[in-house]
Amino acid sequence: MYHTWMRYFTPSPLHHRLGLVCLGVGLQYGALPTVGPRTLDHHVAVVIGAGSGWSEAPDGRRTRITGPTLIWLTPGVPHHYAADPDTGWDEAFVDFTGPATATYTELGYIEPDRPVVPLSDAAGPRAAIGRIARAARRGNPLLEVETGAAVHELLVALRRARADTNAEGDPVLQALARDAFQPLSVAEHASRHGMTPAELRTAVRRGAGCSPKDYLLGIRLGRAKELLAATELPVAAVARRVGYDDPAYFSRLFTRRVGIAPVRFREQQGRAVPGGWSNQIPDPDHPPTIGSFGAPPAT
């Protein structure tokens, strides 16, 4: 005995240009029928919330599955899996495709070489899938865009829910972020962590999907933008605050990555309006909420 609910969609070519589109969603539980062997032409995320079963690789090796677990089905790769016939399992699945899947794979959010991924908690992914299910009501004029946006959210939730991910974040990435504004080379950062540069690159690639240099650069340029937009500090002072002793090099780097020079960015985004009463830039680690702004100080 099992229960199942599913919907399938056919997004238009225009919707495919959004990067990700949802092709289907399903919620089911119980002693479900065996799936496969079969091969698909798109991705599927199968989230096992509870229960147990097995998944078989193309070479015939079987992996025991106990929820919460994610099963990745990737295009062109045969798959075969089933719940235990006596106990069954609680399953939710999302079919999706689009050009952004290549980028998500490169960033490590989709793992073709790791088809079975233990999860620490299925609540986050199930919440994203629930939003897809609610958007799937018939006659919803926002169906394709709403479900596509939820697929992006699902991929983030699955990445965060991996059992090998620290709930507080990757300690290596946290340390890099803390020291990002110091004028240190990648080799010096690695030495601080007792790692070789190659080991640091592997750790950052696994945790953030990019190189240490790009990870640090993103943090530095984000802070530089905040300082340019919210203060009247000279560009040279901004450069020093984010770890660059050479303002000319900082300006070239900023221009190359952002697309406009620092002074031009300030002209476009400057918010240092005379008469404002805020006297500091919010701490990026503790952003204010609307209610926390309160009223302006008494005059």
Rounded CA-CA distance 184/188 in Å is 6
- Given this model, what pLDDT does residue 276 score? 46
CATH 2.60.120.280 fits 2-161, yes or no: yes
Task: Please identify which residue in the block is written with the tokens 């020093």.
Answer: 240
Rounded CA-CA distance 184/153 in Å is 34
- Given this model, what pLDDT does residue 261 score? 94
For the question of whether the overall pTM of this predicted structure is more than 0.85, the answer is: no
- Given this model, what pLDDT does residue 27 score? 95
Per-residue pLDDT of the chain (299 residues; tens, 9 = 90+): 789 999 999 999 999 999 999 999 999 999 999 998 999 999 999 999 999 999 999 888 999 999 999 999 999 999 999 999 998 999 999 999 999 999 999 888 999 999 999 999 999 999 999 999 999 988 899 999 999 999 999 999 999 898 876 655 578 888 888 889 988 888 988 898 888 999 888 888 877 878 899 999 999 999 999 999 988 899 999 999 999 999 999 999 999 999 999 999 998 887 655 544 444 555 666 666 655 555 555 54
- Closest residue by Cα to residue 176 from 159, 155, 191, 198: 191
- Given this model, what pLDDT does residue 284 score? 61
- Given this model, what pLDDT does residue 247 score? 93
- Which tokens is 287 given? 């952003």
Classify 172-269 by CATH class. Answer: mainly alpha
Task: Evaluate whether 188 touches 176 at the Cβ level (below 8 Å).
Answer: no
- The per-residue b/e assignment along 43-60, b for 16 or more CB within 10 angstroms, e otherwise, is bbbbbbbebbbebbeeee
Angle, to 10 degrees, between the axis of helix 212-230 and the axis of helix 262-269?
Answer: 50
- Given this model, what pLDDT does residue 275 score? 46
Domain regions of the chain by residue span: 2-161, 172-269
